[in-house]
Amino acid sequence: METYAVIHFVAAAVSLSAAYFTWKRRSAPGAKWLFLLMIAAAQWTFCDGMDLSVTQLETHLMWAKASYLGAGAVPVFLLLFTLEYTQQEQRLSTKGVAMLFTVPLFGLFAALSNEQHQLVWTGFLQASGNPRVIVYQHGPIFWFLALYSFALLFVSAIVIVSFALKTGRLYRGQNISIIVAILLPWSAAVVYVHAPGLVPGFYPSIALVVSGSIMTLSILKHRLFDLVPIAREALQEKVPDGLLALDSAGQVVDLNPATIRLLELQSAKPIGQPISRLLESWPEAAAHLLVIDNEDYEFTLCSRSGSYIGFEVSVLLDNRGVYCGNLVVVRDVTDRVRNEQALKQANDELQSRVQDIESLHMKLSEQAIRDPLTGLFNRRYLSETLPREIGRAAREGYPVSFIMLDVDAFKQINDVHGHATGDHILRFLGSQLASQTRAGDIACRYGGDEFLVVLTNTALETAIERAERWRTSFQESSTSVMGLSEVATLSAGVAAFPIHGETAEQVFAAADGAMYAAKAAGRNRVTVSPCDRLSQISASL
């Protein structure tokens, strides 16, 4: 048997093996077309092998005609495989796929009827010394069919090469395998047509089987159908977020349909336009996108339709680290922004309620330590504060003076003028004490018509002067301000820490005793609690 015939039969078996491995992954994109491609290649190679095995011219012609079935279908199946593998099969309708087979079917019928027209083969020459080798003289239909096959192979190569440039390193091995598998039969066809004797045995069918073997290895090694790359266009169509690429001059380099929808773009051809022109109806967004910064940044704006659009800008650098543009991810963040606004409003309302509660708490706390009639501190506050004040004075070594005041004949005033007048007198006295004491002093309504004023860091002599001034002022205001027909007076008792005691209770008792002494001595006077220094103070006055 002719050696080349054996090679062809082995090649046919290899094609069937490749078809077997492809069939096992027939659900993958492009797998069914590659399976049919390998079957067609096996049929073509087998027919060529039989052509090289026989000696009769009629038998040669029979197998040569039969080979046109596989030879014509192979380029079509290859193109369909590349289109589906790269996910561009939508470019061909069912009618378009059927039309691709029109020329191969025409070639098959032309070969079968060549005796009537001799347009496929014009003649045959039997090689000298080897009756198994026939040299076919080709006619115009053959050249038409060859040109059609070259065109399909060329388109397939362009599709897969352009696709390979768009995919990443992850798919590099399988893309290279496909490119080599396409270029091999294309090169063999060129050699066979233009220089058939240049490379002996380098028939297109043999080269196609080698391509099939490469495909099989790619299936096993590079996971050709387990790891199918996703076309960039498919990614852009499916991604719900907008993708916008700008060059260093602010011109639009690329964008996907989601960007057009989210930014409400009206331009039919946005690619190549400056972003300032593309977003001339939204200048605020364009101004943010034209910011040149070395760091990524984000911002959110409200669109014309009232939705909130979030922009995530990533800086793009070339291989030298030089700024070359921005990649912008555009998202509809309306729900997020409105949720944040609702949360902020709820938080503001909560803070307002907390402030109201704190204000109410302070008010209640203030009411708890204040006398409701005069606004001065009450006895509760006094009992809580006095021990601390005396303790601080003891530690720091300064005096604290106590002035106990009482309205003279207050019961009689109430009986004659009524309780309203009595309350008016108490309020007046409280306002006078509050306005004429310092922030650190304690003015307190002790009970009924009794008042206690605690003067921090105040010497006894100063406290006596203050008590005398309050007594005089109260007496002078009784008729002119308070509207009484008779003069109202005060009796006051003064004591000081540490002269009259070392505790708050001791000093208070001294001041209270001095006040009762003033009443007993005739009222309307200031009396100092007796002590060792009393005579010195009286002498100084």
CB 310, CB 273: distance < 8 Å: no
Would residue 449 show up in a list of annotated catalytic residues for this protein? yes
Closest to 167 measured CA to CA, from 211, 111, 101, 228: 228
Which residue, chain included where needed, has tokens 């893309």?
A: 175
Judged by DSSP in three states, 532 sits in: coil
Which stretches of 306-456 are assigned E, i.e. beta strand? 308-317, 323-332, 400-407, 442-447, 450-456
| Angstrom distance (rounded) from CA 51 to CA 13 | 17
Question: CB neighbours of 100 closer than 8 A, spacing ≥ 6?
Answer: 76, 79, 80, 92, 152
Burial label for 364, CB within 10 Å (0-12, 13-18, 19+), is exposed
Spatial separation of the C-alpha atoms in residues 279 and 269, rounded to whole Å = 13
CA distances from 365 to 210, 353, 377, 381, 491 (A): 96, 18, 12, 10, 32
Those residues with Cβ within 8 angstroms of residue 275's Cβ, 6 or more apart along the chain or in another chain:
246, 250, 251, 252, 286, 289, 290
What is the Cα–Cα distance from 91 to 37, expressed in whole angstroms?
A: 20
**Marked catalytic residue, from 51, 371, 441, 449:** 449
Sign of CA dihedral 368, 374, 379, 383: positive
Total count of residues recorded for the chain: 541
Backbone angles phi, psi at 528, to 5 degrees: -100, 140
Distance CA 264, CA 334 (A): 15
Comparing CA positions, the residue from 68, 52, 42 lying closest to residue 209 is 42
CA distance 250 to 285: 12
323: three-class secondary structure by DSSP: strand
Sequence-ordered list of residues with C-beta below 8 angstroms from that of 48, at least 6 positions apart, any chain: 8, 63, 67, 203, 205
Environment class of 107 (CB within 10 Å of its CB; exposed 0-12, middle 13-18, buried 19+):
buried
Helix (H, G, I), strand (E, B) or coil at 398: coil
The enclosing H or E element of 150 equals: helix 140-166
The string of DSSP codes covering 10-28 is HHHHHHHHHHHHHHTTTTS
Active site residues: 449
